[in-house]
Structure 1
């Protein structure tokens, strides 16, 4: 049963219900795919960040290329390592989208 603005029960077809489920799940998956790109950004560099003390210049690029060859994935060395290391925004976004998808799937299961 769907509820309108007046909070009155309105008959709903099974097709409408599954259409809503499909749309919710596909939206979450689309957002997760967008977020997943951020997982390939690696702030690999030197210590302390950005100063080139202790490691030769270009070590981040070299390590990323080596990881790409070993894993057959497409990691990238981010240009602003301070921003990547200082915040958890991307992980929070991914976690939120995974949590939202889990809730949607649980709702589908319970109905």
Structure 2
């Protein structure tokens, strides 16, 4: 399998990209990206700055949204809902793990 080096991206908290870059890399439409921004799934570095810029880690989020859209044939509202729910699940898992750590419990194995 040949991997094209132009697809490699170093994701870190300091690097930023434009909205247009997110659209191009992910395959989302401008409208789909706007919905994700409006619903807080993707947050700009500075909401008042024009043009908006985003932490580069949102390339992964936008790409996941596009895959969900394609795999489940979702409209843009469905994509936003799915991504919002996935984000909330991730937040709850982090809270649960933190609570377990405070109580001194590791991850329990069922059965």
- Normalising by structure 2, report the TM-score: 0.31
Q: Based on CA coordinates, which of the two structures has the bigger radius of gyration?
A: 1
Q: Which protein has the bigger helix share?
A: 1
- Normalising by structure 1, report the TM-score: 0.31
